[in-house]
């Protein structure tokens, strides 16, 4: 029996989600001058990142994270893995980093699974495709992140289905997603070979209720109901420089 047709995927920017926990005890013991210097170092980096945001340079956003799993999340999209590595090291070299620990992180590459392709056309020449492969992170108030797999069970195995079967299920998925136009933006990062799950899903919303609604509604699509396997969910709020400083002010 021949193998099922592998999907043609398109890749854009590499992504790094850096989830950090704050050592509040150490932070509170630091002098106000030291805290100020640590925050100044961090915000001088965030300004450089914001200024460099463009279709060729990549995109960055910083979030506070709710609950015990993390306090902060930096999301970086960059053209190369080398740049992601440099960013991680640049944060670690700041004084601010001495008060944090990266408890969780996720590496992927922005991916479009090309279930509908137009033969003979270069998809990367299409501005709509480029916008999705090289997205500027929306500075909406809320985000959530979770990794996921498609099941490879004995009975339900996504990868043993034919291309047509998978395409049909993905079309239903796309239709559900489109109902959230203007309410949710999604970035799907393919992480096979890079991290522990197959995809990292990052959703952005103005209203956090919409995050719950879309994830719930998608559970009823066969592609998620039958084949979706999900990891840890993290949710948080967008931080501009003012909000970042306020978060760490004592
Ligand atoms: C804003 C909502 C939204 C919209 C419009 C949308 C549309 C689409 C389209 C049209 C396509 C296929 C082509 C492509 O663009 O890749 C996809 C692809 C994908 N999606 Fe999606 N998705 C959304 C949202 C959305 C969510 C909320 C999730 C998480 C699922 C859940 O149950 O929690 C998700 C997952 C994925 C994945 C993992 C893939 C890759 C699957 C693969 O097997 O390769 N996605 N998605």
Q: Are the CB atoms for 207 and 189 separated by under 8 Å?
A: no
pLDDT for position 55: 75
Residue 71 covered by a domain: yes
Residue 5 covered by a domain: no
Pairing of β 199-205 and β 184-190:
antiparallel
- List C-alpha distances in Å: 53 to 7, 63, 77, 153, 188: 31, 17, 10, 41, 19
CA–CA dist 150, 7 (Å, integer): 14
- pLDDT of residue 2 exceeding 60: no
pLDDT for position 26: 98
pLDDT for position 114: 78
Residue 4 covered by a domain: no
Residue 14 tokens read as: 């590499």
Give the domain extent around 222: 10-248
Query: How many angstroms is it from 143 CA to the middle of ligand 1?
Result: 16
CA–CA dist 187, 181 (Å, integer): 14
More confident site: 126 or 13: 13
> Which residues lie across from 104 on neighbouring strands?
19
Q: Which of these, 138, 145, 147, 144, lies nearest to 61 by C-alpha position?
A: 138
Would you mind telling me the total number of residues written for the chain in this entry?
A: 250
> Could you tell me the CATH number of the domain that includes residue 88?
3.30.70.1030
Residue 1 covered by a domain: no
40-78 pLDDT per residue, tens: 999 999 999 999 888 789 999 999 999 999 999 999 999
SS (H, E, C) the chain: CCCCCCCCEEEEEEEEEEEEEECHHHHHHCCHHHHHHHHHHHHHHHHHHHHCCECCCEEEEEEEECCCCCCEEEEEEECCHHHHHHHHHHHHHCCHHHHEEEEEEEEEEEEEECCCCCCCCCHHHCHHHHHHHCCCCCCCCEEEEEEEEECECCCCEHHHCCHHHHHHHHHHHHHHHHCCCCCEEEEEEECCCCCCCCEEEEEEECCHHHHHHHHHHHCCCHHHHCCEEECCCEEEEECCHHHHHHHHCC
CA–CA dist 146, 169 (Å, integer): 21
pLDDT for position 6: 78
The number of domains in the chain is 1
Which band of pLDDT confidence, cut at 50, 70 and 90, is reported for residue 167?
very high
Residue 34 tokens read as: 């030291």
pLDDT for position 187: 98
202-239 pLDDT per residue, tens: 999 999 999 999 999 999 999 999 999 999 999 999 99
Q: ipTM for the complex? A: 0.96
Residues flanking ligand 1, CB < 6 Å: 7, 112-113, 115, 148, 150, 170, 173-174, 177-178, 180, 184, 186, 188, 199, 201, 203, 214-215, 218, 224, 228
pLDDT for position 4: 74
Shortest-distance atom of ligand 1 to CA 186: 1
Mean pLDDT (the chain) is 95
Query: How many angstroms is it from 125 CA to the middle of ligand 1?
Result: 22
> Residues marked as binding?
132, 146-150, 173, 186, 224
pTM exceeding the 0.90 threshold for the entire prediction: yes
Residue 121 covered by a domain: yes
Active site positions, annotated: 146
Q: What percent of the chain has pLDDT over 70?
A: 97
The region of weakest confidence among 120-129, 144-153, 200-209 is: 120-129
Query: How many angstroms is it from 59 CA to the middle of ligand 1?
Result: 21
pLDDT for position 117: 64
Give nearest CA residue, ligand 1 atom 11.
174
CA–CA dist 70, 20 (Å, integer): 5
Q: Identify which of 7, 130, 186, 204 to mutate to test ligand 1's pocket (most ligand atoms within 8 A of the CB).
A: 186
Burial class (CB in 10 A: 0-12, 13-18, 19+), 13: buried
pLDDT for position 1: 47
More confident site: 121 or 107: 107
């Amino acid at each position: 029996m021949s193998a099922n047709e592998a999907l043609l995927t398109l890749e854009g920017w590499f992504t790094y989600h850096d989830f950090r926990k704050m050592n509040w005890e150490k932070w509170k013991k630091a002098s106000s001058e030291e805290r100020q210097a640590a925050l100044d170092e961090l915000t001088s980096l965030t300004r450089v990142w914001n200024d460099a945001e463009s279709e060729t340079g990549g995109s960055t956003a910083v979030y506070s994270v709710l609950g015990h799993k993390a306090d902060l999340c930096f999301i970086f999209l960059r053209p190369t893995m080398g740049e992601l590595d440099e960013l991680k090291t640049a944060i670690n070299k700041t004084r601010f980093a001495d008060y944090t620990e990266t408890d969780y992180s996720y590496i992927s590459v922005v991916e479009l699974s090309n279930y509908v392709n137009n033969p003979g056309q270069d998809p990367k020449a299409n501005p709509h495709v480029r916008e999705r492969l090289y997205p500027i992170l929306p500075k909406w108030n809320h985000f959530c992140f979770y990794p996921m797999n498609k099941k490879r069970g004995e009975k339900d195995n996504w990868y043993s289905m034919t291309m047509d079967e998978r395409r049909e299920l993905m079309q239903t998925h796309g239709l559900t997603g489109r109902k959230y136009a203007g309410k949710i933006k999604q970035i799907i990062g393919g992480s096979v070979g890079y991290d522990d799950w197959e995809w990292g899903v990052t959703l952005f919303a103005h209203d956090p209720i919409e995050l719950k609604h879309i994830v719930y509604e998608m559970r009823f699509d066969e592609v998620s109901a039958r084949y979706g396997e999900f990891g840890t969910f993290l949710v948080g709020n967008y931080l501009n420089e003012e909000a970042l400083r306020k978060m760490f002010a004592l």
